[in-house]
Structure 1
Amino acid sequence: MQLDLEGNAALVIASSSGLGKASAASLAKAGVDVIVNGRDEGRLENAVEELRETAEGQVIGCVGDMTNPDDITRLVETTVDEFGRLDHLVTSAGGPTRYTFTETQDDDWYYAYDMLVMSVVRAVRESIPHLREVGGTITNITSMVTKEASGANVLSSSVRMCVQGLAKVLSDELAPEIRVNTILPGLYYTPRRHDAGEAGVDLSDVPLDRMGEARELGDVVAFLCSGYSSYLTGAAIPIDGGALQSTL
């Protein structure tokens, strides 16, 4: 499918590896100019080199920590300075440490909130003026645990709900100029989980009987940025091989 995204510009947060990187790759292959972001300069450089091998648009790396408000401001400014516009914001973040509730301390909750929620709040706030100019999109990558909580991962199950609620509110407040959607990943092959057996994953819970390839999620991100999804906003879309048992 030709997505007609050539000449667009995107900022993909936390995209030096994993699902963020796959999202940047799919957008770049579709002709989008992309700012790729990560905290580790070496890993970021490697990601940029790899993405450029298949990109039809420009790919530029920008080091930044998503818990640092100044870094977020600089990321948005860099996107506009480099490409002259910002059409698409994609937010992502690595998962917090897996804890049960009784294992957590206050600092764990504050850090998880800052990383998973405030990074989105700040990035959206900085991006809105630019996205409004072009009729842009915001796509947030969260987790399937927002619909089916995991007692072994209380921080992600609790805190990521804020992003989903925020996205729903924004889809109304920013309409019709900006569309806002959320993706809920299930189990994927990423640097955090190379192998279902190593990760102790029971694929009997996944009707498609496999883990997802990161590219499969990235292609959905590109679709949500395109005009083919022009009547889709405020949605929370599981991409999990059918693992969720929730009907809502």
Structure 2
Amino acid sequence: MDLELDGTSALVTASSSGLGKASARALAREGANVVVNGRDEDRLAATVDELQDVGDGEVIGVQGDLTERADIERLVERTVEAFGGIDSLVTSAGGPPSGPFLETTDQDWYEAYDLLVMSVVRTVREAAPYLGESEQGTITCITSRSVKEAIDSLVLSNSVRMSVVGLEKTLSQELAPDVRANAVLPGPHETSRIEELIEQAIERGDYDSYEEGLADWAEGNPLERIGDPIELGDTVAFLSSPRAGYINGVALPIEGGESGSNL
């Protein structure tokens, strides 16, 4: 299926690794010009090199911290300077620390809100005028399945990420019909973070092999596996495309049916 993204421009935040990177790869593969973003300069440069040849579009990297307003402003400015506008915005961010409620400090809450919510607020605010000028403006927010079903020891993610879905739903109404806004709610995918956690568990003696650790992460999933990051990326690319032109205001779980939630 041709997603009709050839020659369009996309900005993907927190995309030097993980699901943001997978989304950038999928968009680039469809011919979009893509700006990738991250804090680590070396990792960002490696991502640009990796994605440069996956499609016909151009891939550039813009270093920046999503908790810094000035960095977000510069990120949007550089995208517009490079590609003349923004057709697709994909927001992503790293996860906040785990831990039980009674061990979570006020500072933990403020930092999680700044990282997960205000980064989206500020990026959308800066990008909205350009998205509105596009003939196919879209916003796709990568959040977590934790907004549907609370996950043990992830009180910050369970609580704060729900604000992103509330924002996405509001944007889907306020910015329509010029801009569509949706969210994806991923479960575990085999990102570098999951690989790192499994390797650490092997060193602790929790698993005898990587395959055993991977099987443990997939325990209880109806598909008997965790996701491949590009499966999430392909969904983001679809939602960013005219092919998904009547999908707006949706929060789509991508977790193999693992959640017990009916909605």
Same fold? TM cut 0.5: yes
Match of 1:61 in 2: 61
- Would the aligned equivalents of 2:144 and 2:184 in 1 still touch at CA under 8 Å? yes
What is the total number of aligned residue pairs between the two structures? 248
- SS of equivalent to 2:222: coil
Match of 1:154 in 2: 155
Match of 2:261 in 1: 246
Aligned-residue offset at 1:150: 1.5
Looking at structure 1, the residues matched to 245 and 124 of structure 2 have their Cα atoms a distance apart, in angstroms, of 20
- SS of equivalent to 1:193: helix
Paired residue for 1:220, among 227, 235, 245? 235
Aligned-residue offset at 1:4: 1.0
Match of 2:78 in 1: 78
Letter in 2 for 1:130: Y
**Worse overlay, 130-139 or 193-202:** 193-202
Please provide the CA RMSD for this pair. Answer: 1.2
Looking at structure 2, the residues matched to 241 and 69 of structure 1 have their Cα atoms a distance apart, in angstroms, of 36
Letter in 2 for 1:181: N
Aligned-residue offset at 1:112: 0.4
Match of 2:17 in 1: 17
Letter in 2 for 1:112: A
Q: Does 1:231 align with 2:232?
A: no
CA deviations 1:195-238 (Å, max 9, x no partner) are 57447944232100001000000000000011110000000000
- Would the aligned equivalents of 2:12 and 2:90 in 1 still touch at CA under 8 Å? yes
Aligned-residue offset at 1:171: 0.4
Match of 1:168 in 2: 169
> Are residues 221 and 118 of structure 1, via their aligned partners in 2, closer, same or farther at CA, if it must alter by over 3 Å?
same
Letter in 1 for 2:93: A
Bigger radius of gyration: 2
- SS of equivalent to 1:205: coil
Aligned-residue offset at 1:189: 0.4
Match of 2:137 in 1: 136
Aligned-residue offset at 1:103: 1.4
Looking at structure 1, the residues matched to 215 and 161 of structure 2 have their Cα atoms a distance apart, in angstroms, of 23
- Would the aligned equivalents of 2:186 and 2:255 in 1 still touch at CA under 8 Å? yes
Looking at structure 2, the residues matched to 187 and 68 of structure 1 have their Cα atoms a distance apart, in angstroms, of 28
Letter in 2 for 1:98: S
Q: TM-score, normalised by structure 2?
A: 0.92
Paired residue for 1:211, among 211, 214, 226? 226
Q: TM-score, normalised by structure 1?
A: 0.97
CA deviations 1:89-118 (Å, max 9, x no partner) are 000011111111011111111110000000
- SS of equivalent to 2:50: helix
Looking at structure 2, the residues matched to 24 and 183 of structure 1 have their Cα atoms a distance apart, in angstroms, of 15
CA deviations 1:53-97 (Å, max 9, x no partner) are 312210000000000000001011100000011001000011111
Letter in 2 for 1:209: E
Unpaired runs of at least 5, structure 2:
199-210
Looking at structure 1, the residues matched to 149 and 51 of structure 2 have their Cα atoms a distance apart, in angstroms, of 33
Runs of 4+ in 1 over 6 A off after TM superposition: none
Looking at structure 2, the residues matched to 155 and 24 of structure 1 have their Cα atoms a distance apart, in angstroms, of 26
Match of 2:204 in 1: none
CA deviations 1:22-61 (Å, max 9, x no partner) are 0000000100000000000000001110111312210000
Match of 1:103 in 2: 103
Match of 2:119 in 1: 119
Looking at structure 2, the residues matched to 201 and 138 of structure 1 have their Cα atoms a distance apart, in angstroms, of 34
Match of 2:33 in 1: 33
Aligned-residue offset at 1:191: 1.1
- SS of equivalent to 1:182: strand
